[in-house]
Amino acid sequence: MSPTHRGPPSGSSARAISGGKFPPKLPYARRAVVLALLLASAIPAVTARAAPFGNPVLGPTPAPITLEYFTAIDCPACEQFEREVLPRLLLGESSTPIRVVVRQLPAPEPSLAMLARALLCLPLGTDYLARRAELKHPAPAGAVPESGCRSERAATDVLEFNATVFRLQGFPGTPAFLLTRHDGAAALGRRSWVGRTTWQDWQSELARLSVPSADGGDP
């Protein structure tokens, strides 16, 4: 599996990610960073439970495996995952039920901030992934008049919290995945990676995660 998207495609934001400063600092970033630092020692517990502050959650709850999916705007590999792999995970084609937390990251530039919030606040439903794909490619391009969020400030906080978790995990780009096998709040195994993946890759990763290690830790 090789990464195909390493952050925003161009400009100062693309340079920032290579220096470990993605996403760009936003008005409420300091509060999100402080919160994340307080939670840093408990990140395994945080990521194994319900998504904080309103991230979209797909699939059954509870489920023995939780996938946290970090996605960014202008990420072709993210679109490939949402088009070719995620529907199969949600339809139960894997042997184990999976709960998916969609962690949208902040926009790489101010002109796309409304789109990032709109993707975060998109209502769930049976056609969620189709509507999400349409929202990413509006006609005319870039025409997203409103986010649909109840609170723009709260939505921005969610995006920045996701970005802080993203940085703490050390991910170099998107799509990024954190797959956790757990029993309630107790994490029994965890795997993470970045980049384009096929359905066959996912079957292998899920199989590896489902086999407990001898010491009870990560497989």
- Domain range for 80 is 17-105+154-209
Q: How many angstroms separate the Cα of 45 from the Cα of each of 11, 15, 171, 183?
A: 35, 32, 18, 11
Q: What is the CATH number of the domain that holds 158?
A: 3.40.30.10
Cis peptide before 24 (omega within 30 of 0): no
The residue with tokens 């993470």 is 192
Q: For the segment 23-65, what is each residue's pLDDT rounded down to a tens digit? A: 444 455 555 544 544 444 444 444 433 334 589 999 988 889 9
Length of the chain counted residue by residue: 219
Residue 9: C-alpha distances to residues 75, 137, 162 (Å) = 8, 16, 20
**Token reading at 54:** 């309103």
Please report, to the nearest 10 degrees, the dihedral formed by the alpha carbons of residues 204, 86, 53, 34 taken in order: 50
pLDDT of residue 175: 96
DSSP 68-118: EEEE-SS-HHHHHIIIIIHHHHHTT-SSS-EEEEEEEPPPSSGGGHHHHHH
Residue 219 placed within a domain: no
Is 141 part of any domain?
A: no
Q: Is residue 38 part of a domain?
A: yes
User: 110 lies in a domain?
Assistant: no
Dig out the tokens for 185 from the structure. Answer: 């709040």
Q: Where are the alpha helices (DSSP H) in 122-198?
A: 128-136, 152-168
Domain count, the chain: 1
| Per-residue confidence (pLDDT) for residue 30, from 0 to 100 | 54
Residue 149 lies in a domain: no
Q: Note whether residue 198 is domain-resident.
A: yes
More confident residue, 42 or 66: 66
Q: Which residues contact 147 (CB under 8 A, 6 or more apart)?
A: 114, 117, 118, 120, 121, 155
Tell me, yes or no, whether 147 lies in a domain.
no
pTM score, whole prediction: 0.73
What mean pLDDT is predicted for residues 173-183?
A: 92
In a domain, 35, yes or no: yes
Label residue 139 by pLDDT band (50, 70, 90).
low
